[in-house]
């Protein structure tokens, strides 16, 4: 049965990696929307400070210091959520670490630690959430944070890309099992492009220069918007920012060309002026509490991301623009092609919307029978 996702104001969210970056931005926005949040990270002191901040502003926040790479610690997070709020509705796996360096330079210990957090942290959190949500009335949502590097790979972040490929494979496989079992759980993979978080400063760095993420760079709050959208709307996957989507398209369409482009461009774009950070958070908690990096800014709006959140409006406007162009120019070939082209664009959307909300579609058709008939004829 499909998950019945509640409005954010009625939800309890477990958010890992909540002490900085995307996780912290998501926790703040969720609390502002009225949701209760369970904050999870290794840095106990910072977590408590964030929880105090949210509670003082009228929110409901509960900190749980835990390493997501430890399955027993993750189980303790679930127990704490149940004890404090009676359970949870959405589990968001954000926690992640990174290593900048060529694969033949990165030590095996660093490689293993990265996978322990990035991959096994998602595995532990997802499976713990499944155990809780499978039997919960109405089910709930699991949201895993991948990356555009779930689809492509680049130099210097090879180990990180490998872990995010693994996250995508695990998420897709788990989804098929949930479908098979008819579990009332929405499982979403979100793939951010370059985001202006302290990600580079927290990464272990084998380079001689300070690291950064390649442009275009987007604000962490944009990813938080998408996460909270997925918490209340069943979504399979979303890419945040068109920059990452273009990388994925290039990699899929012309992989050899993409290899050459990434090999030449990414190393230069992954370095910036300034001193290297003296610390990292790969093996233990570092300095947290910041949503954004101080080194550069990020775009707060992405038209491509908004188009994914509102596909009906986007395709509808596209179809209207196409039909309007045909009418404006008045050219016979364009006019003849506009209608079937528009129908091909809109037909899957209308069908999907009707199947997802059959009662609403039936009520709408009964109120406007002539328009419904015209639409049916136009989309034949």
The two structure tokens encoding residue 65: 């210091």
Q: Clarify whether 160 is annotated catalytic.
A: yes
Let me know if 274 is exposed, middle or buried by CB neighbors in 10 A (0-12, 13-18, 19+).
Answer: exposed
CA angle 104, 109, 113 (to 5 degrees): 110
Distance CA 216, CA 262 (A): 15
Strands 90-93 and 12-16: parallel
Question: How many Cα atoms are found within 13 Å in the side-chain-facing hemisphere of 319?
Answer: 20
**CA 17 centroid distance within chain:** 13
Task: Give the separation between CA 301 and CA 241, rounded to whole angstroms.
Answer: 9
CA distance 211 to 194: 13
Residue 134 burial class via C-beta count within 10 angstroms: exposed 0-12, middle 13-18, buried 19 and up = middle
Phi and psi torsions of 88, nearest 5°: -150, 160
Report whether 34 contacts 28 (CB < 8 A). Answer: no
Catalytic annotation, pick one of 100, 119, 160, 218:
160
Kindly state the tokens that stand for 180. Answer: 């098979």
The token duo for 148 is 């555009």
Q: Which residues contact 363 (CB under 8 A, 6 or more apart)?
A: none
CB 95 within 8 A of CB 68: yes
Instruction: Give the active site residues.
Output: 160
């Amino acid at each position: 049965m499909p998950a019945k996702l509640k409005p954010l104001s009625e939800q309890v969210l477990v958010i890992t990696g909540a002490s900085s970056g995307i996780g912290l931005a998501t926790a703040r926005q969720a609390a502002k929307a009225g949701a209760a949040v369970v904050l999870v990270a290794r840095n106990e002191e910072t977590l408590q400070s964030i929880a105090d901040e949210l509670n003082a502003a009228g929110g409901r926040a509960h900190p749980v210091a835990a390493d997501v790479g430890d399955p027993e610690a993750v189980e303790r997070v679930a127990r704490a959520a149940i004890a404090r709020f009676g359970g949870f509705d959405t589990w968001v796996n954000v926690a992640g670490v990174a290593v900048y360096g060529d694969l033949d330079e990165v030590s095996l210990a660093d490689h293993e630690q990265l996978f322990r957090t990035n991959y096994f942290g998602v595995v532990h959190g997802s499976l713990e959430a499944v155990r809780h949500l499978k039997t919960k009335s109405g089910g709930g949502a699991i949201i895993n944070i991948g990356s555009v590097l779930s689809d492509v790979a680049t130099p210097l972040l090879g180990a990180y890309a490998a872990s995010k490929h693994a996250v995508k494979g695990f998420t897709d496989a788990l989804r098929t099992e949930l479908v098979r079992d008819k579990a009332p759980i929405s499982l979403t993979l979100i793939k951010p492009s370059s985001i202006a978080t302290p990600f580079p400063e927290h990464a272990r760095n084998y380079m001689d220069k300070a690291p950064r993420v390649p442009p275009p760079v987007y604000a962490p709050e944009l990813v938080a918007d998408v996460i909270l959208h997925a918490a209340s709307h069943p979504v399979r996957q979303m890419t945040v920012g068109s920059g990452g989507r273009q990388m994925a398209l290039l990699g899929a369409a012309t992989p050899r060309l993409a290899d050459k482009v990434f090999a030449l461009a990414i190393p230069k774009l992954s370095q910036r002026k300034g001193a290297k950070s003296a610390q990292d958070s790969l093996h233990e908690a570092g300095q947290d509490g910041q949503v954004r990096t101080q080194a550069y800014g990020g775009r707060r709006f992405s038209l491509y991301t908004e188009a994914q959140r509102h596909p009906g409006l986007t395709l509808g406007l596209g179809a209207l623009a196409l039909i309007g162009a045909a009418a404006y120019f008045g050219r016979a070939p364009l006019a003849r092609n506009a209608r079937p082209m528009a129908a091909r664009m809109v037909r899957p959307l209308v069908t999907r919307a009707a199947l997802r909300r059959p009662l609403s579609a039936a009520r709408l058709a009964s109120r406007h029978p002539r328009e419904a008939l015209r639409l049916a004829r136009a989309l034949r």
